[in-house]
Amino acid sequence: MDKFKGSTDAASATRAVASGVRSAAPDSVVVEVPVADGGDGTVDAAVSAGFERVFFESIGPLGSPARSSLALFGCRAVVEVANSSGMQLMPAGEVDPLGAHSYGVGLGVRAALQRGATEIVIGLGGSASSDGGAGMLTALGVGLLDARGDRIALGVEGLLSLCDVDLTGLDPRLAGAQIILGSDVDNPLLGEHGAARVFAAQKGADASDIAVIERALGRFAEVTTRCLGESFESAAGAGAAGGIGFAGLAFLGGQMDSGARIVLDLVGLRDQLRHADLVVTGEGQLDQQSERGKAPVAVARAARAAGAQCVAVVGRRRLDLPRVAVMGFAAAYELIAIEPDERKCMRKAVGLLEVVGRQIVTDGWV
């Protein structure tokens, strides 16, 4: 299972469904594998699969000290935007779409390098900022300079005065590291489908803020193209995590991949599926976005490849059953069908997931 945002994390959701199945079919063999799609919960999923959790001192999106974590296994590390520069690190009820930055993500990458990581997955999702990854680059030693040769301020507005990029201070350990960018979206940096116009409103931006962000990211892209001799703003995924995808592609030599696919590889799901008769997966909502790279659909595809049936358990289903079937699900259970009051449903999600686990057995799937 993936997380049910606002209700429960992936591990708790997985445990609840498993508990329901076990109570109704005590002789069944149930394997619990929490998953994610590159957003919040990616580090947790890796830790559940045997990675070591490593804490590091970070800086939140508005500059406050924060304690974040990454996952490490040998020379492989997982850094998560959500827990290093994400919305969850913003003060309660506060938004700052122009001032928030991604500096903490760079500190996470540095912490991974200091631990000897040579393959670093950056899970792009849950970002509080729309700074194009400028903060991340600053933390990694890149000089983003104004017309006087001074470093620009962190945040979106600093990008408006960007004139040059100095790469001489870029952490040299990055030259020997492979950077993998895990995302569940393929949006470009700019334009109608870009970071500002599609995602900035989720971070508190109004129409005037979105116009400023678009202009700032355009400036960043223009200067980057001039300095590097190559254009990256139209690349698939460049707009992910407020443009951190752009910075990762352009300056870190990153490779973009499906966040869900990366996580499924990290947790060894395909090995677990070899002997599976049924796979249960799900998250808060099954909708059009699910088809664009969300974890449950990736799980359903892996289950189909392994010859196992797959059912979804979600808070709410916003697709008709024929479309759900095309996505690879033999059935889809909704928590809202058990508890129609949405607030109560979210509050009682763990208990409802256990009820559905029992129902899956009663319905003959196990």
pLDDT of residue 201: 96
Whether the pLDDT of residue 53 is over 80: the answer is yes
Q: Which of 49, 87, 51, 92 is nearest to 69 (CA)?
A: 51
Q: What architecture (CATH level 2) is domain 10-33+275-362?
A: 3-Layer(aba) Sandwich (3.40)
pLDDT of residue 293: 72
Beta carbons within 10 angstroms of residue 330's beta carbon: 17
Whole-model pTM: value is: 0.93
Distances (CA, A) of 304 to 5, 31, 196, 330: 26, 17, 36, 10
pLDDT band at 47 (very low <50, low <70, confident <90, very high): very high
Please state the rounded mean pLDDT for residues 173-190.
96
pLDDT of residue 93: 74
Average pLDDT of the chain, as a whole number: 96
Between CA 224 and CA 231 the distance in angstroms is: 7
Please state the rounded mean pLDDT for residues 55-65.
94
Between CA 11 and CA 33 the distance in angstroms is: 8
**Matching residue, tokens 């989720």:** 202
Please state the rounded mean pLDDT for residues 5-20.
96
Whether the pLDDT of residue 292 is over 80: the answer is no
Q: Angle at Cα 255 formed by Cα 252 and Cα 256, nearest 5°?
A: 120
Query: How would you class 147 by CB atoms within 10 Å of its CB: exposed for 0-12, middle for 13-18, buried for 19 or more?
Result: exposed
Please state the rounded mean pLDDT for residues 34-54.
94
**Residue 208: both structure tokens together:** 């005037």
Q: Percentage of the chain with pLDDT > 70? A: 100
CATH classification code of 42-260: 3.90.1510.10
pLDDT band at 305 (very low <50, low <70, confident <90, very high): very high
pLDDT band at 103 (very low <50, low <70, confident <90, very high): very high
pLDDT of residue 184: 86
DSSP run (H or E) holding 285: strand 285-286
pLDDT band at 361 (very low <50, low <70, confident <90, very high): very high
Whether the pLDDT of residue 290 is over 90: the answer is no
Give residue-wise pLDDT tens across range 310-334.
999 999 999 999 999 999 999 999 9
Please state the rounded mean pLDDT for residues 175-181.
97
> Beta strand 65-73 with 52-59: parallel, antiparallel or unpaired?
antiparallel
Please state the rounded mean pLDDT for residues 13-17.
97
Query: Is the separation of the CB atoms in 260 and 294 below 8 Å?
Result: yes
Domain locations in the chain?
10-33+275-362, 42-260
Give residue-wise pLDDT tens across range 108-134.
999 999 999 999 999 998 999 999 999
pLDDT of residue 15: 97
Give residue-wise pLDDT tens across range 200-240.
999 999 999 999 999 999 999 999 999 999 999 999 999 99
pLDDT of residue 288: 86
pLDDT band at 346 (very low <50, low <70, confident <90, very high): very high
